[in-house]
């Protein structure tokens, strides 16, 4: 998610137009689907050989993934996949979401115009449609980005850039989707998003608050299973 006025919007939903973009997406999919496990070492030359590209686009992709907090770079050691959330971090992240997102949904509902509602609906539709996924990994990782985009569109309409920046800085949706690679996570989220859209379409701000609150709680309940 991007969050501050004037910042360049990300282009996660554009067909890869360069080798660097394609390499980024391939490494991103491996991290999100846990094919590259949390904490695993990532070597530039190894990825370059695996993806049949030079080291330059791999370096560019890893730099971008570092900004997204999906990889870490340590001096004299190199890159590794970011550690998985701990149970405490997970609990705190959901408390954080519950403090910010339901009220943001309420505020967005109060400020909706036909144009901004159409933008939110388009972001929601992108999770179900969009370009056909190559495989299950691609479908799931793409859904994670689309989900982040949907929630960010709501934060845009709510028009509180401090809240939007806070959510962006945490890379909330990328981290929670990395917890569990399962189709149920996506299907249930789609149904909950539809309830939220219904509240927006009817202009019911209280219902929007409750729908977002319930969605976050249900997401927490689904993903907590990852901790055993």
**CA separation (Å) from 37 to 47, 119, 190?**
14, 35, 27
**Tell me: the pLDDT tens digits for 133-159?**
556 667 778 888 899 999 999 999 999
pLDDT confidence bin for 10, thresholds 50/70/90 = very low
Q: Domain limits of the chain?
A: 19-81, 87-227
What is the arithmetic mean of pLDDT over 112-128? 94
Segment 30-45 shows an average pLDDT of 92
CATH topology of domain 87-227: 1.20.120
- For residues 223 and 87, give the distance between their C-alpha atoms in angstroms, rounded to a whole number: 11
Question: Above 50 in pLDDT, residue 5?
Answer: no
Dihedral Cα 187, 191, 192, 195, nearest 10 deg: 170
Q: Residue 41 forms beta bridges with which residues?
A: 80
* Average pLDDT across the chain, whole number: 87
Q: Measured in whole angstroms, how far is the alpha carbon of residue 38 from the centre of its chain?
A: 17
Q: What percent of the chain has pLDDT over 70?
A: 87
2 has a pLDDT exceeding 50: no
Q: Which residue has the tokens 């793409």?
A: 142
Question: What integer is the mean pLDDT of 78-96?
Answer: 94
Residues 131/143, Cβ–Cβ less than 8 Å: no
Q: Is CATH 1.10.150.120 the right assignment for the domain spanning 19-81? A: no
Mean pLDDT of 60-65: 95
Comparing CA positions, the residue from 8, 7, 4, 10 lying closest to residue 160 is 4
Residue 15 scores a pLDDT above 90: no
Q: Which residue has the higher pLDDT, 59 or 139?
A: 59
Residue 1 near residue 164 (C-beta atoms within 8 A): yes
For residue range 155-206, what is the model confidence (pLDDT) as tens digits? 999 999 999 999 998 888 888 888 876 656 788 889 999 999 999 999 999 9
- pLDDT at position 120 over 70: yes
């Amino acid at each position: 998610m991007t969050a501050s006025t004037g910042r360049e919007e990300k282009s996660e939903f554009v067909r890869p137009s360069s080798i660097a973009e394609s390499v980024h997406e391939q490494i991103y999919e491996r991290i999100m689907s846990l094919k590259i496990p949390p904490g695993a070492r990532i070597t530039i030359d190894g990825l370059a050989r695996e993806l049949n590209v030079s080291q330059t686009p791999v370096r560019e992709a890893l730099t971008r993934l570092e900004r997204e907090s999906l990889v870490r770079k340590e001096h004299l050691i190199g890159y590794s996949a970011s550690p998985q959330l701990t149970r405490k971090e997970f609990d705190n992240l959901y408390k954080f979401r519950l403090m910010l997102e339901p009220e943001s949904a309420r505020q967005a509902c109060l400020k909706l115009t036909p144009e901004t509602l159409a933008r939110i609906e388009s972001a929601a539709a992108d999770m179900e449609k969009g370009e056909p996924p190559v495989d299950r990994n691609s479908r799931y990782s793409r859904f994670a980005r689309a989900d982040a985009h949907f929630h960010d569109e709501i934060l845009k309409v709510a028009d509180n850039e401090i809240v939007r920046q806070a959510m962006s800085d945490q890379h909330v949706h990328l981290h929670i989707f990395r917890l569990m690679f399962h189709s149920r996570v996506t299907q249930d989220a789609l149904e909950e998003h539809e309830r939220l859209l219904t509240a927006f379409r009817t202009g019911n701000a209280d219902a929007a608050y409750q729908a977002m609150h319930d969605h976050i709680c249900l997401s927490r309940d689904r993903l907590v299973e990852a901790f055993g």
